[in-house]
Structure 1
């Protein structure tokens, strides 16, 4: 099992744009029909509030967990820029694996910082992920409502456009959705750039220069 502690899909930001363009090629869709997931845990139906809470927990973890972001390019090479990691997650499914939940998402994260009137990009990734999640407060026996905490992140193994990993990480219904969402990377990257512009007080469409 590939986890956040042993393996990270972290690439230079410039490579993210290339990777996104590659997976958005039209022939990517031809793989969808033949992708059937093999995960056997029960798939749960969740309401919109629970889904939002799960995605919030994923976003918080992926953007701030020191074990993930502590070795990112700008944080290590240009800490004086005070970079931030911006993430977007698309929901695939949630499965029961007592006492935890397994949250399947396709996530895109990009490290960005303001430098003068422009943006500087560093590390980033765009990938399906499987997060082991528990309700916040469970360890202390508290009633925390719809708040969740991420305990582990499983990432795809390299090779064959992630298809073997997608089959293993998702249910029969979830795997085709993960393929579809992974192919929609262009809009996601633009959304990350736009969010960074708002946070750093820059005009929309500000050019990003990637540190390599």
Structure 2
């Protein structure tokens, strides 16, 4: 009795599942989060890769696999480049809404907003200086370069200041009334404050 073999599913061959990549991304995210947590509480020199690995729930060799060495890991931790890519990823006339929504969703879904870590930069010490320099270059200066009109630098810093204030109240102070509101309702009420700075409008002109 002959049997008919079933040909392999072409889609399974050409589109293999990708859990390994998702696991790798989750692991890298956990390592970065652990390093940020420790850096906010200890001097850079006192943090070991073993401590980062234990905090992240992984092995120290895995930290080395993904980041190479301690200096490379903390250079990544102290950079805002990727965070700014996501924060500023919208046309200028929609940027206020996008930035506010981004901060709120980051807090609500991940419990953190990487841009907000500038609030924990030490006042003294080399890594505090590096964090502040990176934040200026990669967030506020980059935003200012997109703005037109006078005082672009001041307006960029005011817009980011408004955003950070919202992040602190929502994610750190955990204002109960604010957190009870739907995200889009907060966006509707708060985004115009941020957008006013981006547009360079005089708030007094918006008062009828």
TM-score (structure 2 length as normaliser): 0.26
Larger relative contact order (C-alpha < 8 A, sep ≥ 6)? 1
Relative to its length, the structure with more strand (as a share) is: 1
Relative to its length, the structure with more helix (as a share) is: 2
